[in-house]
Chain A
Amino acid sequence: MASRRMSIIVVSGVRERLQMAAMVASVGAVSGNEVSVFLSMNALAPFLRGAPGVAPPDGEFGAIAATKNVPSFKTLFEQAVDLGGARIHPCSMAMDVLALDRAKLEPWLGEPLGLTKFLDDARDAQVWSF
C-alpha cells in the first residue's frame, strides 16, 4: 500500500471545517498515511480536556449536520490517533496566547509544537489547511 505524509493545519473553530479536517485526518491515517495535525488559533479551544465535540456552524450544512448522527470531529480525531497512529499537536503560540498548559488539553493530543518544527516536518508532505 502506497503511503504518503499528510500535514493538516487547522485554525478554524467552525463545525464544517473541523469536521472536514477530522475526516481527512482519520481516513487518511487509517489508510496507511503518516498524518500530522497542527491545531492553532480558534481550532484549539474545542480540544480543552472534557470539552464537548461541538462547534458553531458556519452555514446551513453545519446546522443540519448537528441534528444527524454524524461522528463528532473530536471522536474522529481521537480515532485518527488510536486507529491510524496520527499525531495531533497543539500550537505552542496558541497555547501561550490562551494561557493554556498541556494538562488542560485532551490527553490524546501530542506534544505542543512550534510552527518552525511543524513546517520542517511538513516538508515534502501533502499539506491541507482548514
Chain B
Amino acid sequence: MSEHKVIDARGSFCPGPLMELIAGMKLAQVGDEIEVLSTDKGSADDIPEWIRKVGHDYLGSREEGGVWHITVKKTK
C-alpha cells in the first residue's frame, strides 16, 4: 500500500532540501508520495526541475506562510 511521507527541510538552503528529498526517495517504495517542506525559494523552483529530469511524477507545489510544499510520486 502506498504511503504519503513528509520530509521537513525547513530552514535548509539549496541544495539541502533536494538532497533530503533524494535520500527519502531512496528509502521509499514505488508509488509512494513524498512531500517536502522547504522555506528556500530556490529549492521550490529547483526540485520540480529535478523531478521532471529524472522521470518521477511531479504532483504539484503550493506555498503557505512562507513554506513550500512540493509533492512527488516515486515511479521507479
Binding site for B on A (CB under 8 A): 1, 23, 26-27, 30-32, 65, 68-71, 76, 79, 83
Contact = CB atoms under 8 A, between A and B. Distances in A.
Chain B interface size band reads 10 to 19
Nearest to A72: B16
B11 A69 contact: yes
A76 B19 contact: yes
Contacts, number: 42
Query: Dominant SS at the B interface?
Result: helix
B15 A27 contact: yes
B55 A26 contact: no
Given A1-B54, A83-B19, A83-B22, 8 more contacts: A27-B50, A30-B19, A31-B54, A32-B54, A70-B13, A70-B16, A71-B19, A79-B23
A68 B12 CA distance: 8
In this complex, which of B19, B23, B53 has the most chain A Cβ atoms within 10 angstroms of its Cβ?
Answer: B19
B53 to A, nearest CB: 6
Nearest to A29: B22
B36 interface: no
A23 B40 CA distance: 15
A23 B54 contact: no
